[in-house]
Amino acid sequence: MTIFLAILIGLATGVLSGFGIGGGSLLLLYLTLFAGVSQYRAGGVNLLYFVACAPAALVSHIKNKLVEWQAVKWGVIAGVPASIFAAFGAAMIDVRWLRRLFGVFLLYVGCKELFTKRKKSGTPPE
Domain boundaries, the chain: 1-64, 68-118
The pLDDT value given to residue 77: 95
Distance CA(67)–CA(21), nearest Å, equals 18
pLDDT value at residue 123: 55
Is the pLDDT at 63 greater than 90? The verdict is: yes
Report the chain's mean pLDDT, rounded to a whole number. 83
Which residues, 6 or more positions from 31, have their beta carbon under 8 angstroms from its beta carbon? 37, 41, 42, 45, 46
Least confident residue range of 17-21, 68-72, 81-85, 111-115:
17-21
* Closest by CA position to 53, among listed 88, 8, 21: 21
Taking residues 80-103, what's their average pLDDT?
A: 87
Q: Give the pLDDT confidence of 7-48 residue by residue, as tens digits.
A: 888 888 878 877 767 777 888 888 888 888 888 888 888 888
- Cα-Cα-Cα-Cα torsion 115, 116, 122, 125, nearest 10 degrees, comes to -170
Residue 1 pLDDT greater than 60, yes or no: no
pLDDT per residue over 114-126, tens digit each?
A: 888 777 765 555 5
| pLDDT for residue 124 | 56
